[in-house]
């Protein structure tokens, strides 16, 4: 019967702190993944296995974000300020979903665990929208 190995390598790591410090650390981790996310998007945008429709949705989303004209004016509380973020999240969620896990992992340079976290963040972001708007947008982007 073998004894469990002890030592620095096997000691459990302390849980992530809650509150502002934990949020700052998680935000920092996500921000460090941005270069890999940009590379992934660029690779999928030119990959022959990604349908043209998905590339067009991505291009339209980028064009919308780049223009100063918004469908939801910035003076509308909350939604007016974050509509660009939600559209980007929806377009990325769709692109990653349609491309498929194998193609996404093949083109992802970072830690696969972080890609999973990014996918979870993209899924969660849509739930901050008002329900009627969320259902309409998710239905259009998913369909």
Q: Would residue 9 count as lying in a domain?
A: no
Q: Residue 87 and residue 84: Cα distance in Å, rounded?
A: 5
Domain that holds residue 80: 20-142
Q: Would residue 13 count as lying in a domain?
A: no
Q: Residue 46 and residue 111: Cα distance in Å, rounded?
A: 22
Q: Would residue 6 count as lying in a domain?
A: no
Q: Would residue 8 count as lying in a domain?
A: no
Q: Report if pTM > 0.85.
A: no
On average, the pLDDT of the chain sits at 75
Q: Residue 129 and residue 135: Cα distance in Å, rounded?
A: 9
Q: Would residue 2 count as lying in a domain?
A: no
Asked whether the predicted pLDDT for residue 137 surpasses 50, the reply is yes
Q: What is the pLDDT of residues 2-44, one digit of tens each?
A: 333 334 444 444 444 566 777 777 777 777 888 888 999 999 9
Lowest mean pLDDT among 1-10, 53-62, 71-80, 124-133: 1-10
- Residue 106's pLDDT band, with cuts at 50, 70 and 90, is very high
Q: Would residue 12 count as lying in a domain?
A: no
Q: Would residue 10 count as lying in a domain?
A: no
């Amino acid at each position: 019967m073998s004894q469990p190995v002890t030592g620095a390598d096997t000691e459990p790591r302390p849980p992530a702190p809650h509150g502002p410090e934990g949020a700052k650390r998680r935000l920092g981790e996500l921000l460090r993944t941005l270069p890999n996310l940009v590379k992934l998007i660029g690779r999928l945008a030119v990959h022959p296995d990604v349908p043209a429709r998905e590339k067009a949705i991505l291009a339209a989303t980028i064009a919308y974000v780049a223009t100063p004209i918004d469908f939801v004016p910035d003076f509308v509380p909350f939604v007016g300020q974050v509509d660009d973020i939600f559209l980007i999240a929806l377009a990325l969620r769709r692109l990653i979903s349609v491309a498929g896990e194998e193609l996404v992992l093949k083109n992802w340079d970072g830690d696969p665990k972080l890609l999973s976290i990014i996918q979870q963040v993209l899924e969660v972001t849509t739930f901050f929208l008002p329900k009627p708007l969320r259902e309409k947008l998710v239905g259009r982007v998913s369909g």
